[in-house]
Amino acid sequence: MRAVVVDSVGARPRVREVAEPTAPSGGVVLRVTATGVCRSDWHAWAGHDEVAFPHVPGHELAGVVVEVGTGVARWRPGDRVTVPFVCGCGRCEWCRAGEAQVCPDQQQPGFTHWGSFAEYVALHAADPNLVRIPDGVDDTAAAALGCRFATAYRALVGRARVAEGEWVTVVGAGGVGLSAVMVARSLGARVVAVDRNPEALAVAAGLGAEHTVHADGRDVPAAVVDLTRGGSSVAVDAVGSEQTCADSILSLRRRGRHVQVGLLPPVDGHPRVPMARAIGWELDLLGSHGMAAADYPAMMALVERGSLQPQRLVERTIGLEEAAALLPVFDRATVAGITVVDPAR
Ligand SMILES: [Zn+2]
Ligand SMILES: [Zn+2]
């Protein structure tokens, strides 16, 4: 099969022929029909995660089951499915409680094993993790759910418990940030979007952000406090840097909730976080890590009904060659939305 292969940390990704995967026990092989390019793929390429090389990235995906391993009860060849990027083991206390996103024995396509920037991908623990895609939801929209959209949904619904009428500040209007804008609006929240890319801010405004703040070196928290008359109730760092994390926390009003969604790998040491403010103002600092398959049905129902439209976040569809070229520069790419890869292109 054709796949985007990375041979070592920071090496130029190349498209080449590699062996097709076989279904692991309890798992399946999918023919990949759509797979998103995410900043986490860039982190793995840059050496911020422990991945074994040569490596195939890709963790936001939709596809069709082509092979079923031993012990799989729920799935058959031909089933159209997606999967959370965190695949829980299905057996531990966390998985049994519906919290597979924190499973200690989790598998992640594109990190713990080869991912979906390929014609085929193997997935583990298929019964507890695969999610059927309803007929009314296309593959591109479903692929967009796998990491960033589901992460934004869980961050706001499951973690921050956003209520109607609350101000939500979203720092970073990339894939996960724009997803957060859409989810926050669907909950009846009022949104301030922050980014350094004016095009991304225009997209955020189109999705219902009431205010946008161009982060071009200005005092972001002061701007947010001004716009919201005192700060927002909820703020999301959808980028993952010391600066954006601090901007998010300092944009909150007293007793506000910060959700850390953007990854902050300690490559430059642990980030400095304004803890004095967190204590003095009794802020909640919440981590959020994807979303378990158990929580997908409620979100999928909103997508099927059209209340949430992840397909509106898809900016463009590219082939494997373009994905290989995009990966090394993805942290700097000025994309206004989600880039989806069609491996058959
Ligand atoms: Zn991702
Ligand atoms: Zn588990």
CA proximity to 14, closest of 336, 322, 315: 322
Ligand 1 center from residue 113 Cα (angstroms):
15
Report pLDDT for 60: 95
Alpha carbons within 13 angstroms on the beta-carbon side of residue 254 total 2
Single out the residue of 157, 156, 158, 159 nearest to residue 170, CA to CA.
Answer: 156
Contact 214, 183 (CB under 8 A): no
> What does the pLDDT read at residue 149?
93
User: Measured between alpha carbons, how far is 75 from 209 in angstroms, rounded to an integer?
Assistant: 40
In whole angstroms, give the CA distance from residue 220 to residue 227.
11
State the ligand closest to the CA atom of 175.
1
Distance of CA 87 from the midpoint of ligand 2 (Å): 8
Q: How far is the CA of 240 from the centre of ligand 1 (A)?
A: 13
Ligand 2 center to residue 103 CA distance, Å?
A: 4
Instruction: Flag whether pLDDT at 201 surpasses 90.
Output: yes
Ligand (nearest to CA of 129)? 2
Predicted confidence at residue 61, as pLDDT, reads 97
pLDDT digits (tens, 9 = 90+) for 16-66: 999 999 999 999 999 999 999 988 899 999 998 889 999 999 999 999 999
Asked whether residue 337 carries a pLDDT value surpassing 90, the answer given is: no
Longest dimension (CA), the chain: 59
Q: Are the C-beta atoms of 192 and 212 separated by less than 8 Å?
A: yes
Concatenated DSSP letters for 187-228? TT-EEEEEES-HHHHHHHHHTT-SEEEE-SSS-HHHHHHHHT
Q: Please state, in angstroms and rounded to a whole number, the distance separating the CA atoms of residues 75 and 69.
A: 10
Q: Give CA separation, 326 vs 14, 47, 208, 339, 341, in Å.
A: 11, 16, 29, 10, 11
Mean residue pLDDT of the chain comes to: 95
Residue 208's alpha-carbon distances to 63, 144, 155, 189, 293, in angstroms, are: 31, 19, 18, 10, 28
pLDDT at 172: 96
For residue 141, the CA-to-ligand 1 centroid distance in Å is 14
Q: Half-sphere exposure (CA, 13 Å, Cβ side) for 157?
A: 20
DSSP H helical ranges for the chain: 39-45, 93-96, 126-129, 139-144, 150-153, 175-186, 198-206, 220-227, 242-250, 275-280, 296-305, 320-326
* pLDDT for position 269: 85
In this predicted structure, which of 39-53, 231-245, 326-340 has the lowest mean pLDDT? 326-340
pLDDT digits (tens, 9 = 90+) for 88-98: 999 999 999 99
Please check the confidence at residue 257 and state whether its pLDDT lies above 90. Answer: yes
Q: What is the pLDDT of residue 333?
A: 76
CB 209 within 8 A of CB 183: no
Please tell me the predicted confidence (pLDDT) of residue 145: 87
